[in-house]
């Protein structure tokens, strides 16, 4: 690799990390991933207007999706980002799942929220453009080695989350309040399933994504135990099952997905033609 390409790789790395921090902070603060994530336990933290009582569990789903899965996945890429293209794949596709769910279940709200589509598009384009290994995001050279245990656990999650997803889609389609609450819960479920598939591929970055999933399930379980009778809640038994699932999933990830050693290639920039 020549000096010019090496210098380009350094500047791309700096730019990507800077935008990752900026967008993660925006997700936690501006998009209220933090304040709504704390809603089951701390009412209206950092919020200018208190949330309605009936949407407190929906706020927890927002915190899990925007805060834990999206914002934390960007923060997880700050160290050796070129070794975790799978996390950027998840971040991009996860946002597309969110936007597709919004468009499919509530076209009127999607039209009214056109700015959100523009904002998310800008964020995704900037992250893609500043990532030094763009080809590896969707066309990875690393072969996948499907982990059967994690694939089985993802199948169990599919069975458990299906009623939650279907109800969210139906409720959102019939909701006339112009709020993307039930639909966001469905988007959370779909995003968790996609994350489960990516983690089961065992590619580099799968371990970090697996830990984020385990945290998200345990968090949603705790929120369900706190708000068992609220609209959208997984209830007492569902909350206990989610916590147990998160613990088991995290343990399997730790035991079966060994951390990958850093390589010289991780400091390189992808100069191949897209």
Q: How far apart are the C-alpha atoms of 203 and 201, rounded to whole Å?
A: 5
pTM for the model stands at 0.91
The residue whose two tokens read 């968090």 is 219
Q: State whether residue 142 is helix, strand or coil.
A: coil
Maximum C-alpha span of the chain = 62
One pLDDT digit (tens) per residue for the chain, 274 residues: 466 656 667 888 899 999 999 999 999 999 999 999 999 999 877 666 778 899 999 999 999 999 999 999 999 999 999 999 999 999 999 999 999 999 999 999 999 999 999 999 999 999 999 999 999 999 999 988 999 999 999 999 999 999 999 999 999 999 877 789 999 999 999 999 999 999 999 999 999 999 999 999 999 999 999 999 999 999 999 999 999 999 999 999 999 997 765 443 344 444 443 3
Dihedral of the alpha carbons of 151, 192, 72, 173, in degrees to the nearest 10: 170
Q: How far apart are the C-alpha atoms of 139 and 228, rounded to whole Å?
A: 42
Dihedral of the alpha carbons of 244, 247, 248, 249, in degrees to the nearest 10: 120
């Amino acid at each position: 690799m020549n000096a010019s390409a090496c210098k380009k790789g350094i500047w791309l790395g700096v730019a990507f990390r800077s935008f990752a921090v900026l967008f993660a902070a925006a997700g936690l603060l501006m998009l209220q991933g933090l304040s709504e994530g704390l809603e089951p336990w701390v009412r209206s933290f950092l919020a200018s207007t208190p949330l309605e009582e009936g949407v407190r569990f929906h706020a927890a789903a927002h915190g899990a999706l925007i805060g834990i899965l999206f914002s934390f996945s960007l923060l997880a890429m700050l160290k050796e980002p070129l070794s975790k293209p799978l996390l950027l794949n998840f971040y991009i596709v996860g946002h597309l799942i969110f936007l597709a769910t919004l468009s499919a279940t509530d076209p009127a709200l999607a039209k009214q929220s056109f700015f959100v589509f523009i904002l998310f598009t800008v964020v995704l384009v900037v992250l893609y453009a500043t990532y030094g290994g763009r080809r590896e995001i969707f066309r990875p050279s690393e072969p996948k080695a499907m982990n059967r245990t994690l694939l089985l656990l993802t199948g169990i999650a599919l069975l458990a989350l299906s009623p939650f997803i279907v109800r969210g889609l139906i409720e959102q389609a019939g909701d006339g309040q112009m709020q993307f609450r039930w639909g966001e819960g469905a988007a959370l479920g779909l995003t968790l399933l996609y994350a489960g598939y990516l983690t089961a591929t065992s590619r580099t970055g799968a371990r970090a994504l697996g830990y984020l999933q385990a945290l998200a399930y345990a968090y949603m379980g705790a929120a369900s135990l706190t708000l068992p009778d609220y609209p959208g809640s997984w209830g007492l038994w569902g909350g206990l099952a989610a916590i147990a699932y998160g613990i088991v999933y995290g343990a399997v990830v730790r035991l079966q997905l060994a951390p990958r050693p850093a390589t010289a290639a991780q400091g390189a920039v992808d100069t191949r033609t897209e």
